[in-house]
Amino acid sequence: MNRAGWIAILRTLWQTSMVGAWTLVTAQAATVRIDTSRAPALKTWADSTETIAREWYPRLGNLLATTQDLPLLSVAIRVNPDFKGIAAASGSSIEISANWIIQHPEDSRGAVIHELVHVVQAYPPNKVGWLTEGIADYLRYAIYEALPLSEFPRPEKPQGYLDSYKVTAGFLFWLECGPAPGIVRQLNTALRLGEYQETLFSKRTGRGLNDLWSDYLIALRPLPNLPRDPQIWRHAKGSFEHQTNGNWTEFENGKPVWNFIEMSRTPQYIEIVDGTRNLRLRLTSPMVQLISKSGWSTLYTGEWSAPASTKPPAN
């Protein structure tokens, strides 16, 4: 081999070792330390929480990663006996109240996860605190605590998503489950770049934020069981009616407009499809849902009613 060849090999070796050293430095840099020097009684709590935090911090970083990201910073958590609130993050420092940990040991690890999300978020100032807190609680409750969707609080009121925290978290979880998979990462990227706009929701789903909230409430409402012999589902403009051949016909203003084949039946709904329009509908109570590749939406609200023949004659 000539001299130029050896130089090329040495250069490659040098570059490889530098990349390796850099990887090692950055991988070891992102750690979490919990300081209990001012609350030594919580040392045992801190040791076990530190293990969880070190495992989850890079995981939370990955869940909210964008391609422009810098490596995660090391986090210092201080257990503070004088801290007036519960916990707060500022940059890569977290303060948490010693008294609160003692009074709420079952919630304290989740609170640390929530604050670690704030460290990862690193958003510039914005006016959508409900979303910042909602994303932090989504990762805490839905991902870290693995709470099922049905157990998130859902206040029955317009714009309930503005309640922030766990309420917004459930709403985001529902969006992730069907209407807009991946929206949390998308919202996070927009917030981090200072480019968030409410239209992001309608761009993803075709529905405005307030409409999505009411869709969420309706979708999660416990459904009454199907009637014993479900035959007619009525809405303001028409009905879906069971035919003697086992299929379903949609009527509008008393005229048949479409035919559907019944695909499945559970105690809560009947699923029907229309091959010509590639439509999949779920007849539930109190709504008919349109199921598509991107999720579902409410098509009509109405209810099951008795077949006309069993009604007492009108007079």
Q: Output 12 or 90, the one with its CB closest to Zn ion.
A: 90
Q: Output 75 or 136, the one with its CB closest to Zn ion.
A: 136
Q: Output 118 or 282, the one with its CB closest to Zn ion.
A: 118
Minimum CB–partner distance for residue 128 and Zn ion (Å): 13
Contacts with Zn ion, 122-161, as mask; x by CB under 5 A:
-----------x--x-------------------------
Minimum CB–partner distance for residue 49 and Zn ion (Å): 17
Judged by CB under 5 A, the number of residues near Zn ion is: 2
Minimum CB–partner distance for residue 24 and Zn ion (Å): 32
Q: Output 133 or 163, the one with its CB closest to Zn ion.
A: 133
Minimum CB–partner distance for residue 118 and Zn ion (Å): 6
Q: Output 120 or 272, the one with its CB closest to Zn ion.
A: 120
Q: Which neighbouring-strand residues pair with 93?
A: 76, 90
Query: CB within 8 A of 228, min separation 6: which ones?
Result: none
Residue 55's nearest CA partner among 79, 31, 23, 37 is 31
Contacts with Zn ion, 197-236, as mask; x by CB under 5 A:
----------------------------------------
Minimum CB–partner distance for residue 130 and Zn ion (Å): 11
Minimum CB–partner distance for residue 41 and Zn ion (Å): 26
Residue 33 CA, chain-centre distance (Å), reads: 28
Environment class of residue 175 by beta-carbon count within 10 Å: exposed (0-12), middle (13-18) or buried (19+)? buried
Which tokens is 61 given? Answer: 């970083």
Minimum CB–partner distance for residue 181 and Zn ion (Å): 24
CA gap 74, 88 in Å, rounded: 16
Minimum CB–partner distance for residue 114 and Zn ion (Å): 6
Q: Output 144 or 300, the one with its CB closest to Zn ion.
A: 144
Residue 142's nearest CA partner among 176, 112, 118 is 176
Q: Output 88 or 217, the one with its CB closest to Zn ion.
A: 88
Q: Output 137 or 176, the one with its CB closest to Zn ion.
A: 137
Give me the phi and psi of 167, to 5 degrees please: -65, -50
Contacts with Zn ion, 84-123, as mask; x by CB under 5 A:
----------------------------------------
Residue 230's nearest CA partner among 264, 262, 270, 279 is 270
Write out the residues near Zn ion by the rule CB under 5 A. 133, 136
